[in-house]
Amino acid sequence: MLQGFLQNFSLPFTPPSWAIDEVHRRIVLLLNHVLMQEPQAMERLIRQKGSVVRMQWRDMTFMVVVTPAGLFDLADPEARTDLALVITEESPLAIAQSLMAGNKPGVRIDGDVQLAADVSWLIDHVRWDLEEDLARLLGDAPAHGLMQASRAVAHAVKQFAGRGAPGTSGGPTA
Helix (H) or strand (E) holding 51: none
Report the alpha-carbon angle 52-91-15, nearest 5: 60
Q: What is the pLDDT of residues 117-132, one digit of tens each?
A: 999 898 888 876 666 7
pTM for this model (two decimals): 0.68
How far out from the chain centre does Cα 163 lie? 24
How far is it, in rounded angstroms, from Cα 137 to Cα 91? 36
Q: What is the pLDDT of residues 16-72, one digit of tens each?
A: 889 989 999 999 998 999 899 889 999 999 999 999 999 998 888 999 999 999 999
Domain ranges of the chain: 2-127, 131-164
Neighbouring residues of 44: CB distance < 8 A, sequence distance ≥ 6 = 70, 118, 121, 122
| 2-127, CATH topology level | Nonspecific Lipid-transfer Protein; Chain A (3.30.1050)
Q: Closest Cα to residue 29, out of 132, 121, 138, 128? A: 128
